[in-house]
Amino acid sequence: MRSSVASGLARGRRLAVVSIAVSLGLAVLNISVGLISQSTSVVAIGVEFAGDVVASVVVLVGLLMATRPPDANHPYGHGRLETLAGLIVGFVLVLGGVGVSYRSLQQIDATHVMPGVAALWVLIVAAVVRGVMSTIKFRTARSIGSASLAADAWNDAVDILSAVAGLVAVGLARLDPVRFLAADHYGGFAVGLIVVISGLRVSRHAVLDLADTMPPQSWLDEVRDTALGVSGVMGVEKQHARKTGLQYHIDLHIEVDPAMSVRASHAIAHNVQQRVRQHSPWVADVLVHVEPAPEPKGERETVG
């Protein structure tokens, strides 16, 4: 299991490196073409791509830090740093979106020339590239359970919407420069709003993980069923779970025969721990608490 987690982190790191290179290329292309063709929307999207470079760097650092083994001060490992990276990406998106919207409206009443046709083509290229990258990132994030990579995937998906908004704005400005020339600025403003909404969504998911939100009930049922399948386990009293990076740590309270020796109950707890980790790849470790099973009601009355 540890090898598969390490493999997943390695895949995430490689994808983050590729994302940095792609975002940098798109940023340079869009800002350059936007300035040459005098399109506010294209420049705004280029600035957004520059922010994506920062976001991808944060994701890469988070994935690198998450691979550090547990130590005396971090007995649960360093996986939370990967989730924290996702939260930082969300903040970067929100701040970047606000900045893009503000700059787009600054010169909305200023006289300027109609955006060049190159502005349309560069936006089409950006939408296609981002579509490919977001698809790959979503698939990889789901397979390895990476919050920061999923945040970066949402970032790319939002870039597609931004490119489409830019296309509409530039298209309107070129279709009727007299009536719709300001549409290019409004398009940049719309791009900023889309980025802000995406940043808030990404931040919310990261905060939920950092706040120890429980995994889906079906996952908890899976752990419960696995524990009940171990010989000697008479019941599961309760279970808690917290996410640390790509996996969860489980606190599990099992019930055993009250007359059982400490040695025998400890062996059962160890078997539960091993079985759960084998059957549920999303579980990093299990802390098993042994509780005495309640006596049948009839027996309690007889003893009393």
pLDDT in tens, 7-65: 666 777 788 788 888 889 988 998 888 888 877 778 877 877 887 787 778 777 777 77
Pairing outcome for strands 235-244 and 247-256 = antiparallel
In this prediction the pTM is 0.63
Are 269 and 288 in contact by the 8 Å Cβ rule? The answer is yes
Which CATH number describes the domain made up of 2-210? 1.20.1510.10
Q: What are 89-145's pLDDT values in tens digits? A: 788 778 877 877 777 777 666 556 667 788 888 888 988 998 898 898 888 888 777
Q: Which fold has domain 217-303?
A: Alpha-Beta Plaits (3.30.70)
Closest C-alpha among 228, 216, 202 to residue 282: 216
Intervals of CATH 1.20.1510.10 along the chain: 2-210
Amino acid identity for residue 232 in this structure: G
Q: What pLDDT is attached to residue 296?
A: 66
Closest C-alpha among 24, 90, 11, 95 to residue 53: 24
- Say how far apart CA 234 and CA 213 lie, in whole Å: 28
Intervals of CATH 3.30.70.1350 along the chain: 217-303
